[in-house]
Copies of this chain bind each other. A is one copy, B any other.
């Protein structure tokens, strides 16, 4: 899909409208077709609401077909040629294109067990998740009955569609589908923002290997110039922030013990609201520190 504007979508021909939005819902152009009748839209949020309403008002058979149009989660990582470009990019965002053999096996087992029970693939909006939280989510959903899982699948499909719409269409009333992870380091030894502290953000994994996903340095205000994660959902999962505090204090000639009592400080926390703003600050001296869920 190429990016477009709401203005263009409001004024183009119906076939062009349908073509432009064809892949918002996987292999299901009928949704755009119905939504086209409601043009013009005051904003992107209204456009998406119209498509969601079409889905919600569709007959049960149609909804099930929509669900079945989705690929298997782990298969995608191997058989990329059968995926839509959108689907492929999404799997990659969660690192599903970097699965180890063991991880692939875990995902494959999950898919098979789910498909066997329900007769349709396990669908989850992977851009809102880490690998670990996808498996955790699965473990919760597998015991459900089919009605609940059909509703859950539709809800996930709508989350996927909202993110695709946000990427594709620019215009008024953008969708609220982005979150934000930020930090701030206060040096309470000198009473100033801590500038020049190296900060790593690590996505923790019980399943596979943890990996550094952002590496930055605090600016003159003790913050990072850009959010650690921003402009997209913050994936549900466990994270660790690592702050190199001993070298910061040593550079400022603050007396330290040898080895320093505190050196690289790890803060571990979980993200649970991908569309929210999570602020995780650090208050630090060479001998103490604290953190809290900020705002």
Residues of A within 8 A of B (CB): 133, 136, 184, 186, 188-193, 221-222, 236, 238, 257-266, 268-270, 272-273, 283, 285-295
Contacts and interface: CB of A to CB of B under 8 A. Distances in A.
Identical copies in the complex? 4
Given A188-B293, A191-B261, A283-B292, 19 more contacts: A184-B295, A188-B188, A188-B288, A190-B287, A191-B257, A191-B292, A222-B295, A236-B259, A257-B273, A260-B270, A261-B269, A262-B270, A265-B268, A266-B266, A266-B268, A283-B290, A285-B285, A288-B290, A288-B293
Contacts of A259: 133, 136, 236, 238, 270, 272
Contacts of A273: 257
B295 A186 contact: yes
Contacts of A190: 287
A261 B186 contact: no
11 contacts: A133-B259, A188-B188, A188-B292, A188-B293, A189-B189, A191-B286, A191-B292, A222-B295, A238-B259, A285-B285, A288-B293
A133 B259 CA distance: 9
A226 to B, nearest CB: 18
A290 B290 contact: yes
Most chain B C-beta atoms within 10 Å of own C-beta, residue among A257, A260, A295: A295
A258 to B, nearest CB: 6
Contacts of A221: 295
